Structure 1
Amino acid sequence: EARWESLLKNNIEGGYYVLEAARQAGVRRVIYASTVQVTTGYALHCEPYRSIRTGKFENVPDTYEMVKTTDRPWPVNLYAASKVFGETLARVFSETSDLSCICLRIGAVNTMDTDREQFASLFCTRNDIARLTECCIEAPDSVKYDIFYGISDNRYKWTDISNAKDRVGYEPEDKFEDPGWG
């Protein structure tokens, strides 16, 4: 867990200064790096997300409602709370200026020290996150503000990535279950 002083300086103040500098410079769009952790509360406290997170896939029904970016945030630590603030700040800038802001709730891009069970649902390859970022950069001007989950097309994901396909054309090519990953 990051210390509050670091989060305040880097995520709260730093996020504001980046957005304000982008606005003043007439930048077209900012891609804000958020985190899937802003909705971790669902994976800790609600089924079937808890079973997915803990690798108890036998408890997961064939179909289930995934957590959408329109569902309320549920951070469980200060880092995630600071990212919710960043998403909200991006929304304010997109509403009050010409700046377009797209927030990416990035999943587990690095594999080295991630819990295997949790990793299966949050996994995102470097190629997929690069693909999503490129889709966001190239998105039409009509995408003034949005939030997308940066997750590969994993079998047991609990976050809904369909709005990224619908809004910016993101189609992940990888999944945790592919040979060499899981």
Structure 2
Amino acid sequence: MSKLRVLVTGPFGEAGEAILNHLYDEDKYEFTFLNLEDHPEYETHVADVADYDAMRPAFDNQDAVIHLAAQSDAGADFRDVIEPNIIGTYNVLKAMNDAEVETLIFASSQRVMGLYEEDHAPELYEEDYPSKFDPLRLTHETLPKPDGYYGASKMFGEHICRNHARREGAPNQVYALRISSVRTERYDHPYGDAERGVERGEEHKVEEGEVWDQSQTGSWERGSEDYERMVKRMKATWTSQRDFAHLLECCLEDDSVIFDVFYAVSDNAARWFGTEHAKAVLGYEPKDDASEWDSPPKPTNTAE
């Protein structure tokens, strides 16, 4: 049985690490990587997705593309997202068309729906949060409300991907994944962002109405109000590496979708993003639920 050849753009970030840890060694896949810089352990086609001529050869002889490369700072300026997120996504679609690559998994973001969090936080982080949505649960049909230029650029990406999927030529299968909080292996748990804040060792007070995420530089003491608030947020938005890798597999193995949107989030009790659509269409079966955690993992003792 031949392997599925998969090109991954931007594979060495937090979301890409889930592929390296959970899918890379699977016999059914043959991965190729495209990145801005070379990597000492993985053979990599070095190119900028905003440079079409440089990145185009990486798409030859591929069966699918997982497009992760992007400016991922939620607070990015408009000028910062034009080349990597807008031109880069267009170039990926054009290269797929030219190389006749049929399947695209597009890394969208929960920030496409970011204003819902901004409007309802921090009460939103409670499992029993009451609202007119009773409870607030966003679906693939809910009106998008980006909370910045980054989120808006991902919304643009979804729309241009839909446009290409409905036209003649490749790609003709597009899976837009609105990714929540995927973290590196060290912080791959609901206490990850809070623990990272502790390790920064600097004081920062979260202001009223402020929405925090991994892109910001706040830090706090373990057990503080800010620490507990960050834990509550991650208990709603956490996407474990193994659940994210599983969802990618569901997309790679599916042959029914032309274009569709799915939320990449674990089966957290406090989540406000719906997973029912991914379960029904793709057979997504997340294994992790942040509510099952009541403390961070114990540090590994490396002493001999």
TM above 0.5, yes or no, is yes
SS at match of 1:102: strand
Instruction: State the match for 1:83 in structure 2.
Output: 154
Alignment partners' CA distance in 1, 2:107 and 2:117: 21
**1:97-128 per-position Cα deviation (integer Å, ceiling 9, x unaligned):** 34211100000012334522221111110000
* Gap change, CA 1:8 and 1:181, over 3 Å in 2: farther
CA contact (8 A) 2:270 2:291 kept: no
DSSP 3-state at the match of 2:104: strand
Counterpart pick for 1:153 among 263, 267, 270: 267
CA distance in structure 2 between the partners assigned to 1:129 and 1:85 by the alignment: 23
**1:71-113 alpha-carbon deviations (Å, 9 max, x no partner):** 1110111100000000001100101134211100000012334
Matched with 2:299 is none
The amino acid that maps onto 1:69 is: H
Residue 143 of structure 2 corresponds to which residue in structure 1?
A: 72
- Higher mean alpha-carbon deviation, 171-180 vs 33-42, is at 171-180
Tell me the equivalent position of 1:128: 243
> Match for 2:258: what amino acid?
K
Task: Answer with 113-122 or 28-37: which moved more.
Answer: 113-122
Q: Of 41, 52, 67, which residue of structure 1 is paired with 2:124?
A: 52
Larger Rg, first or second structure (1 or 2): 2
Could you list the runs of 5+ residues in structure 1 that have no partner in the other structure? none
> Counterparts of 1:35 and 1:29 in 2: how far apart (Å)?
19
| Cα separation, 2, equivalents of 1:90 and 1:82 | 12
**Superposed, which structure 2 residues align to 1:1-182 within 5 Å?**
1-46=75-120, 51-53=123-125, 56-57=126-127, 59-60=129-130, 64=135, 66-98=137-169, 99=171, 100-110=173-183, 111-112=192-193, 113=196, 114=214, 115-140=230-255, 142-179=256-293
- Counterparts of 2:109 and 2:129, CA distance in 1: 26
Give, as a single letter, the amino acid of the residue that structure 2 aligns with 1:149. Answer: Y
Give the distance between the partners of 2:182 and 2:108, measured in 1 at CA. Answer: 13
Q: What is the total number of aligned residue pairs between the two structures?
A: 176
Q: Comparing 155-164 with 171-180, which one deviates more in the overlay?
A: 171-180
TM-aligned CA distance change 1:151 to 1:16, over 3 Å: same
- TM-score scaled by structure 2? 0.54
- Are the structure 2 counterparts of residues 168 and 59 from structure 1 closer, same or farther at C-alpha, using a change threshold of 3 Å? closer
| Unaligned runs of at least 5 residues, structure 2 | 1-74, 184-191, 197-213, 215-229, 297-304
User: 1:59 Cα shift?
Assistant: 3.9
Q: Deviations over 1:117-162 (max 9, x none)?
A: 221111110000000011011111x211111000000001111111
**Preserved contact between residue 32 and residue 101 of structure 1 (Cα < 8 Å):** yes
Query: Root-mean-square deviation (CA), in Å?
Result: 2.0
* 2: CA distance, partners of 1:181 / 1:164: 29
Structure number with higher helix proportion: 1
Alignment CA distance shift 1:180-1:133 (3 Å): farther
* Inter-partner Cα distance in structure 1 for 2:95 and 2:114: 31
The answer to whether the 8 A contact 1:51-1:57 is kept is no
- Seen in structure 2, the aligned counterparts of structure 1 residues 6 and 69 have a Cα distance that, compared at 3 Å, is same
How far 1:57 sits from its partner (Å)?
Answer: 4.1
2:61 corresponding residue in structure 1: none
Displacement, 1:175? 1.1
1:9–1:97 Cα change, 3 Å: same
Structure 1 window deviating more from structure 2 (169-178 vs 110-119): it is 110-119
Which runs of at least 4 in structure 1 moved beyond 4 Å after TM superposition? none
Distance between the aligned counterparts of 1:21 and 1:128, measured in 2?
29
Displacement of 1:16: 0.3
Shift of 1:50: 5.5
